[in-house]
Amino acid sequence: MIPFNRPSLVGRELEFMQTAVEQGHASAEGPFSKQATAVINDAIGSVDALLTTSCTAALEMSAMMVDVSPGDTVVVPSFGFVTTALAFARQGAKILFCDIEDQQLGLDPRHLDELMDDTVRAVVPIHYAGIGCDLDGIAKVMEKWPKASLVEDNAHGLFGTYRGRPLGSFGRFSTLSFHETKNFICGEGGALVVNDAADVDRAHVLYDKGTNRRAFLHGQVDKYSWQDTGSSFGLSDVLAGYLQGQLDERATILARRQHAFDRYYEALKPRSAELGYTLPVVPDHCEQAYHMFFTLLPDADTRNRVLKTLNDDEIYATFHYVPLHSAPGGQRVAARPSECPVTDDISARLLRLPFYTSIDDADLDRVVDAFLTALS
Ligand SMILES: Cc1ncc(COP(=O)(O)O)c(C=O)c1O
């Protein structure tokens, strides 16, 4: 059996989790949280990073931070994760579903240009598979709409770059995921990355259950009290210890994932034209984060047939995002109906192969053989 994902233990994760308890600070913002935050800030060049219980929680914080209110809209790729949109809809925004372009499968600036108007408070692109989306094209469109903030959903892209700049450093905010399926994990976890110093204080109030506890801890007020909206967003230091164990081994994790990606790519490239599938396109100006390996099959029937054959063979390849714009939940929160033909097409043809940090060459080769046999 080859699972789609297997959570990893690469270094001192378990030891750090025990230390987190023994050193007497197991709740949020403990010593391991500080270390992990420093690694993230150093990698992204951000002014602050707040570890959260999930990327979803970080997206919800960003929705509170951009102050979306009824009448406002937020642009989200239809080829996206449910909570990329839901986080903003929960805050009362209506969603404008944007199509993707067919190369990096990121938000399409041409469709974005058609959707933008002065109700838009945020644009939330995804760096799908850890490959930078068209940030230049998006910035060009957004220049005309200064009231809209860029929030990068960087769940897949920690340590990836775009024109030499870290993914997650372009938006007013960006968000990370440390869910067990991601590159760096702690079971469930995430981070809100803050790139504008003017947002730091309020982000901490929202993070601290709507209180000015941070100002109190810094000796700026003599007691802390309820100030603003917020929730209990913080990641336990036990899980931050797990995360720090992974971040310490980031070179090893990225090297193993790059190896897996390259082995699939080299094995599959030679037969792609003959069998009619395509592989990820990583432009020269992007360093990808090696988050996943996907292929696009010629049509939906072929994708579904190959998926079934692999699954019958106990190789758990899988599909990915079901279009948000036509899902019942998406239709309920849409500002207006929009057409996303590329999303519909890609969603029906995309297949993700098993991909995780500890996958070995024998399993990678077995997946390749089974995939090519299923298609031949
Ligand atoms: C692009 C994207 N954003 C957000 C999420 C949600 O992450 P989490 O499970 O950490 O809330 C996912 C989950 O896979 C995702 O793919």
How many Å apart are CA 11 and CA 90, to the nearest integer?
A: 38
Residues 156 and 214 in one domain: yes
What number is the average pLDDT over the span 253-278?
A: 98
Q: What is the pLDDT of the chain when averaged over all its residues? A: 97
Q: Would the CB of 154 count as within 6 Å of ligand 1?
A: no
Residues 235 and 305 in one domain: no
Range of the domain at 277: 250-375
Position 255: which residue type?
A: A
pLDDT at site 70: 84
CATH of the domain at 318: 3.90.1150.10
What's the gap in Å between 369 CA and the centre of ligand 1?
Answer: 30
Q: Is the pLDDT of residue 6 over 90?
A: yes
Residues 275 and 210 in one domain: no
Q: Would the CB of 81 count as within 6 Å of ligand 1?
A: yes
Position 11: which residue type?
A: G
| Burial (Cβ within 10 Å: 0-12, 13-18, ≥19) of residue 337 | exposed
Residues 244 and 272 in one domain: no
Residues 28 and 150 in one domain: yes
Residues 274 and 292 in one domain: yes
How many Å apart are CA 319 and CA 366, to the nearest integer?
A: 19
In a domain, 276, yes or no: yes
In a domain, 231, yes or no: yes
In a domain, 296, yes or no: yes
Residues 113 and 202 in one domain: yes
The predicted-structure confidence for 42-62, as pLDDT tens digits, reads as follows 999 999 999 999 999 999 999
pLDDT at site 29: 96
Q: Is the pLDDT of residue 3 over 90?
A: yes
pLDDT at site 297: 98
How many Å apart are CA 375 and CA 367, to the nearest integer?
A: 12
Q: Measured from the CA of 58, which atom of ligand 1 is nearest?
A: 11
What number is the average pLDDT over the span 117-146?
A: 98
Contact 199, 172 (CB under 8 A): yes
What's the gap in Å between 216 CA and the centre of ligand 1?
Answer: 33
Half-sphere exposure (Cβ direction) of 356: Cα atoms closer than 13 Å = 19
What is the distance, to the nearest Å, from the Cα of residue 171 to the centroid of all Cα atoms in its chain?
14
In a domain, 38, yes or no: yes
Residues 327 and 240 in one domain: no
pLDDT at site 269: 98
Residues 91 and 29 in one domain: yes
Reported as a pLDDT band with limits 50, 70 and 90, residue 271 is: very high
How many Å apart are CA 373 and CA 358, to the nearest integer?
A: 24
Q: What percent of the chain lies above the pLDDT cut of 70?
A: 100
Residues 59 and 82 in one domain: yes
Query: Which of 83, 151, 180, 347 most suits a substitution to test ligand 1, by most atoms within 8 Å of the C-beta?
Result: 83
Query: Which of 56, 181, 350 most suits a substitution to test ligand 1, by most atoms within 8 Å of the C-beta?
Result: 56
Q: Would the CB of 83 count as within 6 Å of ligand 1?
A: yes
How many Å apart are CA 161 and CA 127, to the nearest integer?
A: 10
What's the gap in Å between 56 CA and the centre of ligand 1?
Answer: 6
What's the gap in Å between 315 CA and the centre of ligand 1?
Answer: 23
Instruction: Give Dmax (Cα) for the chain.
Output: 72
The predicted-structure confidence for 272-308, as pLDDT tens digits, reads as follows 999 999 999 999 999 999 999 999 999 999 999 999 9
C-alpha distances out from residue 100 to 43, 134, 203, Å: 27, 10, 30
Number of domains in the chain: 2
Per DSSP, the three-state class of 2 is: strand
Residues 80 and 180 in one domain: yes
Q: Would the CB of 179 count as within 6 Å of ligand 1?
A: yes
Residues 371 and 283 in one domain: yes
In a domain, 189, yes or no: yes
Q: Would the CB of 93 count as within 6 Å of ligand 1?
A: no
What's the gap in Å between 181 CA and the centre of ligand 1?
Answer: 9
